[in-house]
Structure 1
Amino acid sequence: MKKKPLKARIVETSLVMFEKHGYHGVTVDQIVEECGTSKGGFYHNFKSKDELLYNIHDVFISYVLDRAKEAYDNYSTPTSRLCAIILSFTKVFDLYKPHITVFYQESTYLKGDFQEKINAKRDEYRKIILRVIREGQENGDFRPEVSAEITTMAIIGMVNWTYKWFKKDGELSIEKIGEIFNDLLVHALVTEKGMENQDIHTYLLKSQLISE
């Protein structure tokens, strides 16, 4: 089996150590010893331990942001866009669960420019969801009486909590969990008019969120 690049091995090692001992409970010396490299190898890939923590955060935040942009571009209705965004958001907890766990445990230690960059991406992601909801309300597909801002934060909060309880060997796959989230949102947010839209109806049938 081909050996993973050093940068990937450093990240994997630090994820385990940060999760177990905390960010300030682990030194660069301990990381390189556990990883089987040198401090030179570490600093060739990361300027500091802070940059390593930033990299851990940035990987999964960049992933969900890129997938949200793709969903917005690839689908034409607010409902299909929102469902695609939620599915990709949910999948991140299977792909990057260790990164996310460390993020929630250690995010307070991210400072300065690193913190600003991460917060900017999180805010951009929130605005994409908010935009989709507002567009759905404007065209009559989503209920207008609910707050778009609160709905956005409710969606993010609901899906974010997945990291606490999701298990790869659990009864439900991450894809099925994403479908359940979408089922809840569609039946809480989409209007009767929205359900009658042929493009939306076809998408919901394909996603098994409604029956024939």
Structure 2
Amino acid sequence: MRKGQMTKEHIIRESAGLFNTKGYTGASLSEIIDRCGIRKGGIYNHFESKDELALAAFDYSFSQILGFFSKALENAKNSKERLLAICKVYIEIIENNSLEGGCPILNTAIESDDGHPFLKERAQSAMKIFIEKLTLIIVEGIENKEFKEAINPEEICIYLIAVIEGGVMLSKLFDDSKYIRHCTSNVIQYIDEQLLLNHLS
């Protein structure tokens, strides 16, 4: 790998944590420069603007989340275990700070709602990918006769994401992982009672 490419990737990695923690507005170029240990010109040698760097940093943080998902799903034997593995990823993010700043989709969605349309669009695209992955898990669960045939995969995805991301938001707000743990417990109960084909009432 060329030195220039290595420097660019270093800038993206270091700025990703800063953007994900402080947000687009809160993360100043001077802080990024200090954290990266480079001169101001070093940023503009690789990125035309702060906007371009912010998008690259978001993509990096989201790729980290996808990597966590892939690793967590490796040993999952069925659809229920896959959904629970994703829940555990979010618990790890909160309790072990496995991704600096927490969930980049949630953070970016909150900050970019009105002021940063380019980031909002990127967060929307990332969420669509997440929804597609969850939908695939649920559809496979139906096809394998693990989940009830009558359930609506899209509606299930929306509910699960709302509960999990809500738990992340509350845990970040109060610096207490009990919220994400409570929400993931509710997800487990929901899967058992509403999705599983052979659940006994």
Shift of 1:87: 1.6
- Where in structure 2 are the equivalents of 1:19-168 lying within 5 Å? 23=25, 28=29, 32=33, 38-44=39-45, 46-93=47-94, 94=97, 95-97=99-101, 100=104, 102-108=107-113, 109-111=116-118, 115=121, 119-167=124-172
Amino acid at match of 2:100: Y
Spell out, residue by residue over 1:50-90, the C-alpha distance to the aligned partner (whole angstroms, 9 max, x if none): 12221332233222323334445532311111211222244
Counterpart CA distance in 2 for 1:33 and 1:143 is 54
Percent identical across equivalent pairs?
20
Report the 3-state secondary structure (helix = DSSP H, G, I; strand = E; otherwise coil) of the residue aligned with 1:166: helix
Over the aligned positions, Cα root-mean-square deviation in angstroms equals: 3.8
Runs of 4+ aligned residues of structure 1 deviating over 6 Å after TM superposition are: 33-36
Tell me what 1:170 maps to.
176
> Residues 94-117 of structure 1: CA distance to partner in whole angstroms, max 9, x if unpaired?
4333563641333352529x945x
Letter of the structure 1 residue corresponding to residue 101 of structure 2: K
Q: 1 CA distance for matches of 2:86 and 2:21?
A: 29
The gaps in structure 2 that reach 5 residues or longer are 1-9
Asked if structure 2 preserves the Cα contact closer than 8 Å seen for 1:62 and 1:121, the reply is no
Q: Secondary structure at the match of 1:96?
A: coil
Q: Which 5+ residue runs of structure 1 have no aligned equivalent?
A: 196-212
The one-letter code matched in structure 2 to 1:170 is: D
Do the aligned partners of residues 169 and 81 (structure 1) sit closer, same or farther apart at CA in structure 2, a change above 3 Å counting? same
Aligned residues: 184
More displaced, 85-94 or 176-185? 176-185
C-alpha distance in structure 1 between counterparts of 2:27 and 2:82, whole Å: 41
Tell which structure's C-alpha radius of gyration is larger. Answer: 1
Distance 1:102 1:131, change over 3 A: closer
